[in-house]
Structure 1
């Protein structure tokens, strides 16, 4: 149990260090301002991660008295829309930092004393702590997206991602057959990843790498945005309403296209996966290319199925946790890496960069798996089932390894582009 406590403490510390980086690099005005109606003020996210930590770890797991019960409603994500949050009587930056620090002190005391073998699902394997680690890292990625939307001088720095080490082009054939989707064994897997269940998937081809800026530019140069043949009816309506002409944050220059990335304007790199495109843009590109978006089951089979053993692995490369040689995760870099940068992270069949770089749109709606059971609360997943949500897979350069695995499911509305979203294509065999 000592090793588990140390592992949890390290995860908590890493998440908090990233939260501090994202909030300490801007001034108080930037922290309290709403940079987009799609996003909360950064100071709301800061106090919200502390409030969730208090609710689950201090009160539920630890059985301790509340720290600030009076602010629970302010930081309940279901009580107030993001666009309304700046008008709330939020904690100011000094108060928010003091609150999260006070909560963390109590959480570490709970961690020292909790028994992980008491037969309660909430604490078995450290689940509640893992849930909170993932929650904070997810909000860190959201705050990173807010940084991308803010105006003003650049405040974040990171080294460039690695250069390509392999030439990756074309498609990979994934053979017909049954594989195990989802998980019953991943200790920190969330309820929508469970239970493991067999799925029969017909043979299909899938792109060996995500669609790059260069490939997407070919679609744009061919008049793809203006040609109704490639757009679904809903996609066409949204394209016209939102006046879509290029990925978000691209700037037309007389010599080509530039990209405003975290306050730095630079030429679009043709070898990087395209990012900040919505589902409808991805769908239109796929139609133009004579293909389609993969289903969620196809994506997971490409990412997890090992044809040599017939088993589903945790990651494309195996069961070992992601390392720097496997994938572009954890905000180590501030952009996707060029195609072919992570050959050690490829699947046995040769599908590259399924984990990290960009969230990949799939054609699937968001639903529970057969036998789904909400845990520990309905509001994490179940209330989002149905509707127009589309599932995204694989994580981005802003996703932490703790919140990304072969079974992890993300979802969003098909019009969203502020997230670090890209795609790859598939087609029937």
Structure 2
């Protein structure tokens, strides 16, 4: 697939998903703020168009502005999420018309692009960046759907794959240097760059993400009532927020746990990865299990390093793009697959489901790589470095393939759990560092 065809494909796929997430509810639902953690869906809708106008129509295309008057309204750094409902936002019909106008102009710019010249245009980077931006907001809108009340409005293509047996519970990752990050992926974002060598001591990592069944053992063993399992900050947050189980879990009082997922209440599936846990919950579970969370470097080495060739691959299975046989991505389903559901997507060492299903918390704060350079704007990554964030890796069932790579870095506050977040554990390898 050529660059132009690839761009058309990812832009179309993103817009179809945006429409699906917003056309399924009425106008009142679109302008309602379903949680102070999230924007009204109509804000996301017009913000997607505004970013496309700024970068593709005005910057790459050099065209006249479509709606310069709304730039400030849709600047994410000028208005907090909880303040956005009070802004004079475009109504749903105006937002949709704005998106159509901008997309027509952006496709006209695409028709005339050579994908050469400035770094922003080289290899179609600006178009890839905008496709990733829209899909990132689509995942955010999906999280908003999870927070909204009322009847279910979303449907999925099919149920996730049925799991299979996993040969080992844990996998040993040998000590050694590997290449972390990337310098040659044309659509990689600034915080993924540049490729650099990192030495990682030998360690052991879970072969699959922590499941609901395993997490329920932690709950039943009083994990939420034992301060010795929690960090000082984590315990204070557990008390302040009243945490007793993952978000959206409910106990019926008769020994059965249920969860609410996109308007449907259903029994918890024991073999699905646990989802909607914050960093502090993941950290406490790991301590209860006699383990810890992996560092970001450990996670990436487990996901990308090929022990046979010694090189870092783009994905655990190789360099080829994800498809439905390799990973649960792209909102094809409305939840994670049970563990063992994607054996073809495992790493060479036998670590499963590193891509898709649930974002995985790591122990690492969000920091720049050596030689980091902000591109094309500081507000994507640089302003977040050094803040109160932890890195998540791997994507979720709600992450589109265009916004997911073995090098892709996500980050959030350690108290957040409305995101599709889970985790797996790691531990030191006893004995010699071999």
TM-score bucket (shorter structure): over 0.9
8 Å contact kept, 1:169–1:209: no
**Which of 132, 135, 138 is the matching residue for 2:136?**
138
Aligned to 1:210: 209
2: distance between equivalents of 1:4 and 1:317?
A: 23
1:160 shift after superposition:
1.1
2: distance between equivalents of 1:132 and 1:27?
A: 26
1: distance between equivalents of 2:335 and 2:167?
A: 19
1: distance between equivalents of 2:176 and 2:115?
A: 39
Aligned to 1:286: 286
**Alignment partner of 1:101 is 2:110:** no
1:165 shift after superposition:
2.9
8 Å contact kept, 1:179–1:305: yes
1: distance between equivalents of 2:239 and 2:115?
A: 54
For normalisation by structure 2, the TM-score amounts to: 0.98
Aligned to 1:18: 17
8 Å contact kept, 1:168–1:340: no
**Alignment partner of 1:79 is 2:70:** no
Specify the SS of the correspondent of 2:306. Answer: coil
1: distance between equivalents of 2:164 and 2:269?
A: 17
Map residues 26-425 of structure 1 onto 2, 5 A cutoff. 26-117=25-116, 119-158=117-156, 159-167=158-166, 169-253=168-252, 254-425=254-425
2: distance between equivalents of 1:93 and 1:364?
A: 40
Q: Cα deviations across residues 209-234 of structure 1 (Å, max 9, x unaligned)?
A: 00000000000000000011100000
2: distance between equivalents of 1:352 and 1:251?
A: 29
Gaps of 5+ in 2: 430-434
Q: Cα deviations across residues 13-33 of structure 1 (Å, max 9, x unaligned)?
A: 000000000000001111000
Specify the SS of the correspondent of 1:225. Answer: helix
2: distance between equivalents of 1:12 and 1:166?
A: 37
8 Å contact kept, 1:154–1:263: yes
8 Å contact kept, 1:168–1:209: no
1:417 shift after superposition:
0.5
1:169 shift after superposition:
4.8
1: distance between equivalents of 2:318 and 2:364?
A: 25
CA RMSD of aligned residues (A): 0.8
2: distance between equivalents of 1:189 and 1:227?
A: 42
2: distance between equivalents of 1:255 and 1:334?
A: 25
Q: Cα deviations across residues 196-252 of structure 1 (Å, max 9, x unaligned)?
A: 000000000000000000000000000000011100000000000000000000111
8 Å contact kept, 1:354–1:394: yes
Residues 169, 271 of structure 1: alpha-carbon distance in 2 compared, 3 angstrom cutoff: farther
2: distance between equivalents of 1:171 and 1:3?
A: 40
2: distance between equivalents of 1:103 and 1:258?
A: 43
2: distance between equivalents of 1:325 and 1:412?
A: 29
1:166 shift after superposition:
3.1
1: distance between equivalents of 2:371 and 2:6?
A: 31
1: distance between equivalents of 2:409 and 2:387?
A: 16
1:126 shift after superposition:
0.2
1: distance between equivalents of 2:276 and 2:168?
A: 22
1: distance between equivalents of 2:170 and 2:350?
A: 9
Q: Give the ranges of 4+ consecutive aligned residues of structure 1 lying more than 6 Å apart after TM superposition.
A: none
Specify the SS of the correspondent of 1:311. Answer: coil
Specify the SS of the correspondent of 1:91. Answer: coil
Residues 114, 425 of structure 1: alpha-carbon distance in 2 compared, 3 angstrom cutoff: same
1:168 shift after superposition:
5.5
1:114 shift after superposition:
1.5
Gaps of 5+ in 1: none
Specify the SS of the correspondent of 1:290. Answer: coil
Specify the SS of the correspondent of 2:224. Answer: coil
Number of residues of Structure 1 aligned to a counterpart in Structure 2 = 427
For normalisation by structure 1, the TM-score amounts to: 0.99
